[in-house]
């Protein structure tokens, strides 16, 4: 590292620390006697890796750090005195993956809606780096509601795979969020890079969550009423076929009840689902060590249980228990908001 680079890094680190601690008055002293390019470098620097108790390793600019810590004086000083771009990009590392983040995203992550409103008033782009995606993946219903009310694009992909907020809401079985998005022009026919619609994404979910409000049939009905189609993805699967292939019993049964599904399609789906689940049971119960007689008994027992939906649920849960996830969190948040509240917010 050359001497000039070292000086830049030292200055950038001091400026970042001042922003984190809300000491905007230190900026002038730090920049006194510095060349304009040094000041610009320090204010846009993202080379200073810091450890954050919530996010792990992060690389924030001073502006993003100020937003994260809720220092409006830092934000105003940087925007007014130093003409910093309010849409600056930093990054965070979540589970080994790098994600871009803006000051607005940081405020949303912190559920600091006063700061988020302030940034929007100062010109922050509500769709830049998709703050809505931050709320979606965290299951933050309150933040999603805030962003929708402020005019966020509900159809903008949240990642490079083309996943939309509606798809995320469907994967988490959140009726409240699904209705909120659909009432605000979310398109259920949009597809990801693999040709999967929101219905497909719902069907392909293999983990079965506890549905606290029992919303699955309502979610599917709501999607269909809003224009969702039984289209084919790039694998040539309809949502029903995808549910059967993934062993998603709940989704398959709900889709089979739709008037759009013909009787012959229902019979075919039931047979595919039965074979898929039989195969899963034999595989998960150690079929390699079992005798042919044991396998036959297991298979017969499973076939009998298949006629009883309650037995299916019990057996599925005994085979694959899921720990508490972000899906549970989004339902906890949504539980506190009545459907009437959501519809009131979503109405024009």
201-204 own/partner pairs: CB under 8 Å, 24+ apart: 201/163, 201/167, 201/170, 201/171, 202/170, 202/171, 202/173, 202/239, 202/251, 203/239, 203/240, 203/242, 203/243, 203/246, 203/248, 203/251, 203/252, 203/255, 204/242, 204/243, 204/246, 204/248
- 170-223 confidence digits (pLDDT tens): 888 788 889 999 999 999 999 999 999 999 999 987 655 444 445 788 899 999
Buried b (16+ CB within 10 A) or exposed e, 273-295: beebbbebbbeeeeeeeeeeeee
Q: Which of 165, 203, 160, 171 is nearest to 183 (CA)?
A: 165
Please give the structure tokens belonging to residue 60: 């924030």
Looking up tokens 């992550």 gives 109
Contact 158, 136 (CB under 8 A): yes
What distance in Å separates the CA atoms of residue 223 and residue 177, rounded to the nearest whole number? 12
In whole angstroms, give the CA distance from residue 252 to residue 244.
Answer: 6
What does the chain come to in residues? 348
Pairing of strands 56-59, 50-52: antiparallel
Cα–Cα distance for residue pair 95/82, rounded to 1 Å: 34
Phi, psi of 52 (to 5 degrees): -115, 135
Of 66-70, 211-215, 251-255, 277-281, the least confident: 211-215
pLDDT in the model for residue 290:
45
pLDDT > 70: what percent of the chain? 72
pLDDT for the residue numbered 1 = 39
* pLDDT (average), residues 140-161: 91
3-state secondary structure of 317: helix
DSSP-assigned letters across all residues of 86-136: TT--EEEEETTEEEEE-HHHHHHHTT-HHHHHHHHHTT--TTTT-HHHHHH
Q: In the prediction, which pLDDT does 214 show?
A: 54
More confident residue, 298 or 146: 146
pLDDT in tens, 261-317: 888 888 888 888 888 777 766 665 655 444 454 444 444 443 444 444 554 444 445
Q: In whole angstroms, give the CA distance from residue 318 to residue 313.
A: 9
All CATH 1.25.40.20 domain ranges of the chain, comma separated, are 13-26+43-129, 131-284+321-348
Taking only the tens place, the pLDDT of each residue in 17-57 is 999 999 999 999 999 999 988 899 989 987 766 655 555 67
Residue whose tokens read 């996010």? 55
Which pLDDT belongs to residue 50? 67
pLDDT average, residue stretch 89-95? 78
The residue behind tokens 């994600």 is 99
User: Strands, DSSP E only, in the chain?
Assistant: 50-52, 56-59, 90-94, 97-101
What is the CATH superfamily name and number for domain 13-26+43-129? Ankyrin repeat-containing domain (1.25.40.20)
Whole-number pLDDT of residue 323: 39
Contacts of 258 (CB under 8 A, 6+ apart): 220, 221, 224
pLDDT at 76: 96
Distances (CA, A) of 175 to 198, 238, 348: 13, 22, 20
Higher confidence at residue 33 or residue 320? 33
We find that the CATH architecture of domain 131-284+321-348 is Alpha Horseshoe (1.25)
The region that residue 344 occupies, defined by phi over 0 for left and psi between -120 and 50 for alpha, beta otherwise, is alpha
């Amino acid at each position: 590292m050359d001497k000039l680079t070292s000086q830049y890094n030292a200055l950038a680190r001091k400026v970042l620390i001042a922003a984190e601690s809300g000491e905007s008055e230190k900026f002038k002293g730090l920049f006194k006697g510095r060349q304009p390019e040094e000041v610009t470098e320090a204010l846009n620097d993202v080379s200073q890796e810091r450890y954050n108790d919530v996010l792990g390793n992060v690389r924030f600019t001073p502006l993003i750090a100020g937003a994260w810590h809720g220092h409006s004086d830092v934000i105003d000083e940087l925007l007014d005195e130093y003409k910093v771009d309010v849409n600056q990009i930093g990054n965070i590392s979540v589970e080994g993956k790098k994600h871009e983040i803006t000051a607005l995203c940081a405020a949303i992550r912190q559920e600091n809606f006063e700061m988020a409103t302030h940034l929007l008033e100062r010109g922050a782009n509500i769709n830049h780096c998709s703050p809505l995606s931050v709320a979606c993946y965290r299951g933050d219903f309150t933040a999603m509601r805030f962003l929708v009310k402020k005019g966020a694009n509900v159809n903008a992909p949240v990642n490079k795979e083309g996943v939309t907020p509606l798809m995320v809401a469907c994967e988490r079985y959140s009726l409240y969020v699904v209705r909120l998005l659909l009432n605000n022009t979310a398109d259920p026919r949009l597809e990801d890079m693999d040709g999967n619609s929101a219905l497909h994404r719902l069907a392909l979910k293999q983990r079965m969550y506890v549905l606290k409000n029992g919303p699955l049939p309502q979610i599917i009905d709501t999607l269909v009423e809003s224009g969702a189609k039984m289209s084919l993805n790039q694998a040539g699967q309809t949502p029903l076929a995808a549910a059967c292939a993934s062993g998603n019993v709940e989704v398959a049964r709900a889709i089979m009840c739709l008037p759009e599904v013909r009787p012959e399609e229902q019979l075919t789906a039931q047979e595919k689902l039965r074979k898929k689940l039989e195969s899963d049971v034999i595989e998960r119960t150690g079929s390699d060590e079992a005798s042919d007689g044991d396998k036959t008994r297991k298979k017969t027992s499973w076939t009998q249980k298949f006629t009883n939906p309650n037995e299916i649920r019990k057996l599925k849960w005994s085979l694959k228990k899921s720990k508490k996830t972000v899906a549970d969190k989004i339902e906890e948040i949504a539980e506190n908001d009545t459907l009437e509240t959501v519809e009131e917010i979503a109405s024009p």
